[in-house]
Amino acid sequence: MTRKGSQFQLTVHVTPNSKAPGIEVEADGTVHVNLAAPPREGMANLELCQVLAKALHVPKTALEVVAGSKGRDKVVLLPETLDATTILERLRAAG
């Protein structure tokens, strides 16, 4: 996770077409998100924003995939209302 101005950018590794959707946060802060959606026509990116929004308790419109939209490693811009501690706590609780 990196800071960009007053917001954070969360780097996420995504596994589409997963049989067990969910969020995993490793001890070093690496975030893995397993998605049921296939990696076609933006469906995985949409589900990623939905899953993260639910976990972080923010509207899905507050999240934006700013890099990696066609790859498995993505960067998501988070709303400035969240701080680093809250982000990691909520992601770990959702996993």
Q: pLDDT per residue over 25-78, tens digit each?
A: 998 889 999 999 999 999 999 999 999 999 999 999 999 999 999 999 999 999
Strands 7-15, 31-34: pairing is parallel
Given a contact cutoff of 8 angstroms between Cβ atoms, the answer to whether 37 and 16 are in contact is: yes
Q: Please tell me the predicted confidence (pLDDT) of residue 29.
A: 83
User: What's 55's DSSP letter?
Assistant: H
Q: pLDDT per residue over 11-29, tens digit each?
A: 999 999 999 889 999 988 8
pTM of the shown model: 0.91
**Measured distance CA(15)–CA(21) in Å, rounded:** 9
**Measured distance CA(24)–CA(40) in Å, rounded:** 23
